[in-house]
Amino acid sequence: MGISGELFKSVGGIEYKNIVSPSVLSADFANLEDEIKKTEAFGAQWCHIDVMDGHFVPNITIGAPVVKSLKEKVNAKLDSHLMIENPIKYIPDFINAGSDIVTFHIETSGDTTLDCIRIIKNAGVLAGISIKPKTPVSEIEKYIPLVDMVLVMTVEPGFSGQKFMEDAAKKVKTVCDIAQNTAHSKLIIQVDGGINNETAKICKEYGANCFVAGNYVYKNSESGGMKSAIESLLG
């Protein structure tokens, strides 16, 4: 399954070519349903769920039961970003919980990488593969034709609110070139970490079409800036 018209569907009659996936890591965890619904109302099509295990990254966050609860409450596509060791062990849980997109890291999938992709795709879920800022694109090159999405991390995974790394974002261009050379015209290229209107513009120029944003979207909610934050990423 590649990216479909449905994923890019118009919001309020306006066609958007980018996907916006606000990261709930910066949301109010006691009010996740309301927080996500606010982003939906402003046009965000996805909801980014950062899963951290305290091993691959120093932080511990959300597990599959939270994804399952959200599935019953929100319409946004659930975009599970697994920052965990041994992803093949947990991918089925995140599929069964209702994830629409499951992304794992090449740094932890090792010999199981192909199987991780197969399990996700056989379930009819979009498969994403991610690289940390210091991991070269060559590590995932052979898998790019097989996945629906490449997530290029633009901060070291583990925490929200970090500074965008432009050197990491440059890898988007390499991913984009590989997608073009392999005729993978539907590849979603997601960036995650330090994304705001200015850094997203840089990433768009390199070829990104899917934007994760934690602080930029959720920390703008009180000032009424959530709407303009989301719209600036959609455009």
Residues that bind ligand DX5 (CB under 6 A): 23, 25-26, 48, 50, 81, 155, 157-158, 160-162, 192-195, 212-216
Nearer Cβ to Zn ion, position 81 or 105?
Answer: 81
Q: Which of 35, 38, 192, 217 binds Zn ion (CB under 5 A)?
A: 192
Residue-wise DSSP of 87-132: HHHHHHHHHHTT-SEEEEEHHHHGGGHHHHHHHHHHTT-EEEEEE-
- Region binding Zn ion by CB under 5 A among candidate stretches 13-21, 51-59, 158-166, 190-198: 190-198
Query: Smallest gap, in angstroms, from Cβ of residue 225 to ligand DX5?
Result: 14
199 is written with which tokens? 């850094």
Contacting residue, 50, 79, 100, 148, with Zn ion by CB under 5 A:
50
Going by C-alpha positions, the residue among 155, 166, 235, 162 that lies closest to residue 199 is 166
Tell me the C-alpha distance between 112 and 114, whole Å: 6
Q: Which among 93, 95, 90 has a CA at the least distance from the CA of 105?
A: 90
**For helices 87-96 and 64-71, angle between their N-to-C axes, nearest 10 degrees:** 20
- Choose from ligand DX5, Zn ion, none: what does 38 bind? Cβ within 5-8 Å by kind: none
Query: Does 53 qualify as catalytic in the annotation?
Result: no
Q: Minimum distance from CB of 41 to ligand DX5 (Å)?
A: 20
167 in catalytic set: no
- Of 44-52, 65-73, 142-150, 217-225: span binding Zn ion (CB under 5 A): 44-52
Query: From the CB of 191, what's the least distance to ligand DX5, in Å?
Result: 10
Local structure of residue 62 (DSSP, 8 states): -
- Cβ-in-10-Å burial (0-12, 13-18, 19+) of 84 comes to buried
Size of the site for Zn ion (CB under 5 A): 3
Binding range to Zn ion, per CB under 5 A, among 67-75, 78-86, 126-134, 227-235: 78-86
Dihedral-angle region of residue 158 (phi above 0 means left; psi in -120 to 50 means alpha; beta otherwise): left
- The answer to whether residue 81 forms part of the interface with Zn ion (CB under 5 A) is yes
> How far is residue 151's CA from residue 76's CA, in Å, rounded to a whole number?
19
Active site residues: 50, 192
Contact footprint for Zn ion (CB under 5 A): 50, 81, 192
